[in-house]
Amino acid sequence: MPSVKIPKKSTDTDMTPFVDIGFLILSFFIMATKFKPPEPVPIVTPNSVNSTELPDNNAVMISIDKDNKVYFSVFAKKDPAIADEIVRNVALSRNITLSDAEVKNFRNSITGMPVNKLKGYLAYPAAEQSKIKQDGIPVLDSATNELVWWIAASERAFAGQELKYLIKGDGESKYPTFKAVVDALKRNDKLKYNLVTMPEGVPGNSDLDAYNREVQRLGTKK
């Protein structure tokens, strides 16, 4: 009986479908990735060894730049209407009426204008506000410390919720401005706040370094 020869087939694999899948995955990650937006106010913070991450909700940020200008921003990611209520209350306290568009422009902005200039500043969309040179919120005169109004409005808007106060100061800012910011918090009976710093490694041979090594050793023994 004659033997049947099985035809040989190429072992090469067509990689075209895999290349298509690779491009699809790459396209997905490019479109889904959210890049950190540039900060409208450049602030170089001092270093620290604290590793606590910044909250993205139920917090307000009070920023001080190197020229001692004070700025205010709200973290209300879960309920943006809270930010709307804050800016409306501050404006109404000075008999200023804001349009719905101006209120919406406040949500993602960092505001450093006296209240009498707030309406003109919020007339610009958030994307264009970074081009405007801001005067800073007046704080140094205790009689006209406008930061007191912003904090009071925040307390009312976040009523019944835990609210964190963050102070982010440039390393070159001066103490009188920082003191005025703390005084504004005190006048609203807010005595707890967090300082935002630039994280760095724990210094070697420090007490904190020895503590971390001891914790790690005990954890390894378990």
Is residue 133 included in any domain, yes or no?
Answer: yes
pLDDT of residue 222: 46
User: 63-77, pLDDT tens digit by residue?
Assistant: 999 999 999 999 988
Confirm whether 218 is domain-assigned: no
Q: Is residue 195 in a domain? A: yes
8 within some domain: no
Residue 42 lies in a domain: no
Q: Domain for residue 5, yes or no?
A: no
The pTM assigned to this predicted structure is 0.69
Q: 5-9, 134-138, 150-154, 189-193: which has the minimum mean pLDDT? A: 5-9
Split into its structural domains, the chain has a count of: 1
Instruction: Confirm whether 146 is domain-assigned.
Output: yes
Q: Please give the full DSSP string across the chain, using - where no structure is assigned.
A: -PPPPPPP-------HHHHHHHHHHHHHHHHH--PPPPPSS---PPEE---PPPPSEEEEEEEE-TT--EEEEEEESS-THHHHHHHHHHHHTTT----HHHHHHHTT--B-S-GGGHHHHHTS-HHHHTTSPP-----SSGGG-THHHHHHHHHHHTTTS--EEEEEE-TT--HHHHHHHHHHHHTTT----EEE-EE-PPPTTSHHHHHHHHHHHHHHH-
Structural domain of 92? 58-199
Q: Which residue has the higher pLDDT, 2 or 107?
A: 107
